[in-house]
Amino acid sequence: MIDASGCPLCAQEGGVPVLRTPLYRVIRAEEADFPAFYRVVWNEHVAEWTDLVPAHRSLLMQTVAKVETVLREALRPTKINLASLGNVVPHLHWHVIARFDWDSHFPQPVWGAPQRVVVPPAVSRLAVPLEVLDARIAAALAEAVSA
Amino acid sequence: MIDASGCPLCAQEGGVPVLRTPLYRVIRAEEADFPAFYRVVWNEHVAEWTDLVPAHRSLLMQTVAKVETVLREALRPTKINLASLGNVVPHLHWHVIARFDWDSHFPQPVWGAPQRVVVPPAVSRLAVPLEVLDARIAAALAEAVSA
């Protein structure tokens, strides 16, 4: 376990910034094999989802749902993978990953064994560019934040 | 992708039954390396969490939170791991796993590479027997279901 003082998600954004609110932020992980890989990060350093009060748990999951919805509509992935693990970085964050039957690890989790080599790069196979995807996620979330 | 007709979570309970309601069930996966491994399974065959209406998404996550809370209180795990993947069995289910710094894969996800051989068996290291854990989870959930 590491405490907040040595925590990479306290010290840094953790990826490409998509949206930041006072309570949470959404970033895009930069994983070449899984380009449509986002993280919803709780800004405060807490380890577990149930460390949050129920209203904040719900807010976090509604954010996860909005990211999932944009990914499904924009990319038509084979599957969405959601996870909150934090074994290495115990600062609460949810992984939201669009998976495709052609990706390097499918049907294994992204943390599992590779299944194939993907050529050309995965990002070139997505239906929309990552910048467009980021903007759509930010817009979907900004609507909720301003409501 | 497999459809409902060939789905193992439609055909079978999927593990040791802990609690069943009309909408969802909780089962204990029988994984020797990760004995405190539960799944919250939506009974209807849907693939994605956002296939559910928001009230049902919330009900499912509140169930996940209750399982997580019992595991934390009973076992004091190093970390809780939550995930909804479904790449192999695309029938909506949430994994709720108590992880320990001594377990076979920590800090890797349970789907990652083993890190060590654990002797004696993991189950013997838990603070309470699995039957007691099952009963505590069932009791915590039954309270909510009857409310």
Domain-wise residue ranges, chain A: 4-146
Q: Within an 8 Å CB–CB cutoff, is residue A106 touching chain B? A: yes
Q: Within an 8 Å CB–CB cutoff, is residue B48 touching chain A? A: yes
A:B CB pairs within 8 Å: 100
The DSSP secondary structure of chain B, one letter per residue, reads: ---GGG-HHHHS--SEEEEE-SSEEEEE---TT-SSEEEEEESS--SSGGGS-HHHHHHHHHHHHHHHHHHHHHH--SEEEEEE--SSS-S-EEEEEEE-TTSSSTTS-TTS------SS-GGGGSSS-HHHHHHHHHHHHHHHHH-
CATH superfamily of A4-146: HIT-like (3.30.428.10)
What does pTM read for this prediction? 0.96
pLDDT value of position A4: 81
Percent pLDDT > 70 in chain A is 97
- CATH architecture assignment, domain B4-97+116-146: 2-Layer Sandwich (3.30)
Q: Within an 8 Å CB–CB cutoff, is residue B104 touching chain A? A: no
- For residue A48, the chain B residues in CB contact (below 8 A) are 68, 72, 79-80
Please, what are the averages of pLDDT over each run of 10 residues along chain B (147 residues)?
A: 81 97 97 97 98 98 98 98 98 98 98 94 96 98 79
Supply the mean pLDDT for chain A: 95
- This complex has an ipTM of 0.96
pLDDT value of position A63: 98
